[in-house]
């Protein structure tokens, strides 16, 4: 843990900004690492957003911006054609930064407090049908039977990846970042370390548990000699690193081709959406799904109820006799 925290602090140091007020941005980024344990990608995004805003308000600098400059900055984003969602994310970064300045006594006001975020639509997450997921899993299992040696090991790895991703609903980064030790116990649950280093327990289906049990001895068949001692459950090319999200995406796309499922719909995150949607469709309560997904706020989980609403509306439109009856 200490080693990982030190590494992330180093990442924060590598993202230092320049110009007036840059030291305040540096302090903010270091706080995100030390107190919130933000991921490297999130840290990079915050640094980029603050750097862009600093260039916009120069020469005044980050520490002296007023609400008029914040609004002008948002208007410039809209003029550049950036989406409302991107504008809202940039404003969120500025709000958190200025709250930090206010809390630390660097300012006595918050110029973002009176600035409203752009209105966002509520996009429905793209998911897969139960039939699509069933076909993907069946195809992954069929690939294991005839294979031998390294091919069998890789087939078992793919089966374990898909089974666990769909059974747990974990984030892709959480799945590929599972340590080998997480799967060595006999409990049918996984301890997952999610955003902000928060831990949660997620139960596994019997099929997912069995897939991991089969994958563990097969690691020696699927991996090179130098990778077999990796501490990761799913190592990457470099034994010190775990499999990348991009590599998992490639494997899933090939599986979709083999299964005859729409390739454009089969993405790692779509299986997480499928997990949540299918649980709710089959009677699970929203609070339990929230806990398993690792959402801090239940409002984030509620997006899946809209998916179900849309499906029910489509069901009525397609199959109800009154919906298809021509008006006289």
304 in catalytic set: yes
Helix ranges, 169-234 (H): 172-176, 206-222
295 in catalytic set: yes
d(CA 100, CA 46): 13
The residue from 48, 200, 269, 311 that is catalytic is: 269
- CA quadruple 64, 67, 73, 74: dihedral sign: positive
Chain centre distance of CA 46: 17
The residue from 171, 267, 273, 278 that is catalytic is: 171
The residue from 106, 213, 295, 311 that is catalytic is: 295
Contact 201, 288 (CB under 8 A): no
3-state SS, residue 289: helix
319 in catalytic set: no
Max Cα-Cα span within the chain: 74
269 in catalytic set: yes
d(CA 69, CA 31): 25
The residue from 99, 195, 200, 311 that is catalytic is: 195
The residue from 98, 157, 272, 273 that is catalytic is: 272
3-state SS, residue 199: strand
By annotation, the residues acting in catalysis are 171, 195, 269, 272, 295, 304
């Amino acid at each position: 843990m200490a080693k990982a925290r030190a590494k992330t602090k180093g990442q924060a140091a590598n993202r230092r900004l320049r110009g007036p007020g840059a030291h305040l941005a540096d302090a903010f980024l270091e706080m995100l690492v030390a107190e919130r344990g933000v991921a490297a990608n999130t840290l990079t995004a915050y640094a980029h957003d603050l750097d862009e805003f600093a260039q916009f308000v120069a020469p005044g600098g980050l520490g002296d911006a007023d609400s008029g400059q914040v609004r002008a900055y948002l208007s410039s984003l809209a003029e550049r054609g950036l989406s409302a969602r991107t504008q809202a994310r940039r404003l969120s970064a500025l709000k958190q930064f200025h709250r930090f300045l206010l809390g630390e006594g660097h300012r006595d006001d918050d110029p973002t407090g009176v600035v409203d975020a752009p209105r966002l639509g509520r996009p429905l997450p793209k998911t897969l049908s139960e039939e699509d997921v069933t076909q993907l899993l069946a195809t992954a299992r069929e690939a294991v039977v005839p294979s031998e040696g390294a091919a069998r090991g890789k087939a078992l790895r793919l089966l374990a990846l898909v089974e666990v991703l769909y059974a747990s609903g974990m984030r892709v980064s959480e799945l590929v970042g599972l340590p080998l030790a997480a799967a060595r116990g006999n409990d049918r649950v996984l301890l997952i370390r999610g955003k902000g280093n928060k831990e949660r327990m997620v139960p596994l289906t019997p099929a997912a548990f069995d897939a991991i049990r089969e994958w563990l001895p097969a690691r020696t068949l699927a991996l090179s000699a130098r990778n077999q001692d990796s501490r990761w459950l799913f190592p990457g090319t470099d034994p010190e690193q775990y499999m990348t999200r991009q590599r998992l995406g490639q494997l899933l796309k090939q599986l979709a081709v083999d299964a005859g499922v729409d390739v454009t719909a089969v993405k790692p995150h779509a299986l997480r959406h499928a997990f949540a949607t299918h649980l709710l469709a089959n009677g699970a309560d929203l609070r339990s799904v929230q806990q398993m997904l690792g959402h801090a706020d239940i409002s984030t989980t509620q997006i899946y109820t809209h998916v179900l609403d849309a499906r029910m509306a489509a069901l009525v439109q397609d199959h109800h006799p009154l919906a298809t009856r021509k008006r006289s």
